[in-house]
Amino acid sequence: MLRSGALAAENPITVGSLHDQSGPIGTSGTPMVYALQLAVDEINAAGGLLGRPLKVMHYDTQSNIQMYSQYAQQLAVKDKVDVVHGGITSASREAIRPTFDRFKVLYFYNTLYEGGVCDRNTFCTGTTPAQTVEKLVPSAMKKSGKKAYIIAADYNYGQITAKWMTKYCKDNGGEILSTDFFPLDVTNFGSTISKIQAAKPDLILSALVGGNHTAFYRQWTAAGMKGKIPIASTTFGLVNEPSTLDAAESDAVIGAYGYFEELTTQASKSFIEKIKKAHPDSPYISELAACTYEGVMLWAEGVKKAGSIDRMKVIEALESGLVFDGPSGKVSLDKPTHHTVRNAYLAEVKDRKWSVLETYTDAKPADTASVCDLVKNPADTKQYIINL
C-alpha cells in the first residue's frame, strides 16, 4: 500500500499553457512558453509544490481564436488543470476567460494589454496603459511636439489603447489629428502614409500588432519619412523588430514596457542566460516572457502560502499582498484589481537594440482602480473601458 506522500508525489499539479507558437503571433508566444517552462523546471528542481511535481499541459493555439476556445474547453473539462497561464492578444483572452470562470479554473493573463479586466478568477501580470502609455506619451510629446497621429490594430487592444493615447495626449496639452485602425492581416500602408504626410503631425503613436504590421516601419522608411516624424509605440519590439529591421528602419523608435532584455540587473541577466542556454534560437525576450515567468512564480507563492491547490484558497493567498523579485524587478499583486504593481521602463532603439532611458519604480496598474474593486464586488467579471 502506498503512503499518502508517495501517492501525492505521483499525482502532479497540472499547469495549463495556451500560447501561440505558430502563425503571425508565434514569435511572441514562443518565448512565453520558454519562460513558463523555465519557471516550472525551477520549481520542480526545488522540490515542486506541496511535495508534488508540476506538469505542463501545453497547446499551440496557432494565432487562431477558435483554437483558443477549443483548447480552453479541453484544459478545463478534460484535462482538469489546476491553473492556466495563457493568451496573448486581448481577443484571445476574452475568448477563454469566460470558460475558466464557468468551470472555476484559476487563470493568469501575463501579457501587457489595454487594462480594465475586473475578475476575481483572473490575475493580470502584464503592464497596463496607466503604467506605460502614461509615461510614453508625455515623454514623446515633450521631445517632438503636441500634434499626434494614432495608428493601431483593429481589435479591442488597439481600439482601447488608442483611447488611452488620446487621453494622455490631451491631458498633456496635445491633440490627436487622426486615428486609423488596421486588421491584423494588413500589410500595405501606402495610403495611410500618404494621409500622415498630408496631416503633418509632430508625432506618430503606434499600437500596431504582430508580424504583418511590421511592414509599416519598412514602408515608412522607404517613403523617405524616417527621421521626419518620430514614432512612439506601445508594441514595437515585443518580438524581433529592432534586430530584424535595418537600423535605418528601427532606430529612434521609443517604447515603454515592464521589461527589456537589455536590463543589466543580475536577475535579468540570469533570466536571459537560462532561456538562451536552453533555446539558443529564442526570439527577443520581452515583457511577455518576463511576466509569464513572474506570473508562474507568483502563482507558486500563492500555492505555498495557501498550503493547497484549492482555487479559492490560492486566490485568497494571492490577494494577501504577495511579492516576487523577478527579472523585471519587484512585482506585487494589487488586491482590488488583481493586477501587478511593477517597474516600468522607457527606452529608445539605438543600433538595433533598446537603450533604457528612464525607470519608474512601483508603477500602479490602473487609473480605473475606483471602478474595479474586487474587495467590494468579488463577483465582478467585467472589462471596464475608458470613456472619453
pTM of structure? 0.93
pLDDT exceeds cutoff 70 at 368: no
In a domain, 105, yes or no: yes
Domain end (from 209, 232, 257): 257
In a domain, 321, yes or no: yes
The owner of cell 498630408 is 198
pLDDT digits (tens, 9 = 90+) for 146-190: 999 999 999 889 999 999 999 999 999 999 999 999 998 899 999
pLDDT exceeds cutoff 60 at 1: no
Same domain assignment for residues 136 and 216 = yes
Same domain assignment for residues 47 and 91 = yes
Give the range of the structural domain holding residue 67, as residue numbers without chain letter. Answer: 13-128+262-343+366-383
Measured distance CA(91)–CA(84) in Å, rounded = 17
Same domain assignment for residues 268 and 253 = no
- 225 near 270, Cβ under 8 Å? no
Q: Round the average pLDDT of the chain to a whole number and report it.
A: 93
Measured distance CA(183)–CA(21) in Å, rounded = 20
- 152 near 236, Cβ under 8 Å? no
In a domain, 56, yes or no: yes
pLDDT digits (tens, 9 = 90+) for 300-309: 999 999 999 9
Same domain assignment for residues 231 and 318 = no
In a domain, 207, yes or no: yes
Same domain assignment for residues 336 and 239 = no
Same domain assignment for residues 269 and 337 = yes
Domain end (from 236, 257, 278): 257
Measure Cα distances from 265 to 258, 262, 294, 327, 328 in Å. 14, 9, 16, 8, 9
- Greatest extent of the chain over all pairs of C-alpha atoms, in Å: 80
pLDDT for the residue numbered 319: 97
Measured distance CA(225)–CA(217) in Å, rounded = 10
Quick one: pLDDT band at residue 3, thresholds 50, 70, 90? Answer: very low
The owner of cell 508517495 is 6
pLDDT exceeds cutoff 80 at 8: no
Same domain assignment for residues 117 and 216 = no
In a domain, 357, yes or no: no
Measured distance CA(262)–CA(387) in Å, rounded = 36
Same domain assignment for residues 140 and 67 = no
The stretch 76-93 carries a mean pLDDT of 96
The stretch 194-200 carries a mean pLDDT of 97
Same domain assignment for residues 279 and 293 = yes
Domain end (from 257, 290, 324): 257
For the chain, percent of residues with pLDDT exceeding 90: 86
Same domain assignment for residues 173 and 112 = no
pLDDT digits (tens, 9 = 90+) for 249-292: 999 999 999 999 999 999 999 999 999 999 999 989 999 999 99
Quick one: pLDDT band at residue 2, thresholds 50, 70, 90? Answer: very low
The stretch 128-139 carries a mean pLDDT of 96
Same domain assignment for residues 109 and 151 = no
CATH number, domain of 58, equals 3.40.50.2300
- Indicate the number of domains in the chain: 2
Strand partners, 52: 49
Quick one: pLDDT band at residue 127, thresholds 50, 70, 90? Answer: very high
Same domain assignment for residues 174 and 237 = yes
